[in-house]
Amino acid sequence: MPYARTAVLLAAMTGLFLAIGFFVGGQSGMLIALAVAAGMNLFAYWNSDKVVLRLYGAREVSRADAPDLVGIVEQLASRANMPMPRVYVIENEQPNAFATGRNPQNAAVAATTGLLRHLTSEEVAGVMAHELAHVRNRDTLIMTITATIAGAISMLANFAFMFRGNDNRSPVGPILGIAAMVIGPIAAMLVQMAVSRSREYEADKVGAEISGQPLWLASALHKLGRLSGRIDNPQAEAAPATAHLFIVNPLHRGALGGLFSTHPSLEKRIERLHALAATMGQQPGDR
Element (H, E) at 100: strand 97-100
What is the C-alpha separation between 177 and 157, in angstroms, rounded? 8
What is the C-alpha separation between 138 and 82, in angstroms, rounded? 12
Q: Let me know: does 237 contact 253? Beta carbons within 8 Å.
A: yes
What is the C-alpha separation between 235 and 172, in angstroms, rounded? 43
Q: Residue 178: how many CB atoms within 10 A of its CB?
A: 15
Query: Collapsing DSSP states into helix, strand and coil, what is residue 235?
Result: helix
Out of 74, 91, 131, 202, pick the active-site residue. Answer: 131
Query: What backbone phi and psi angles, to 5 degrees, belong to 44?
Result: -65, -35
In the residue annotation, 74 being an active-site residue is answered as: no
Query: Collapsing DSSP states into helix, strand and coil, what is residue 89?
Result: strand
Residues catalogued as catalytic: 131
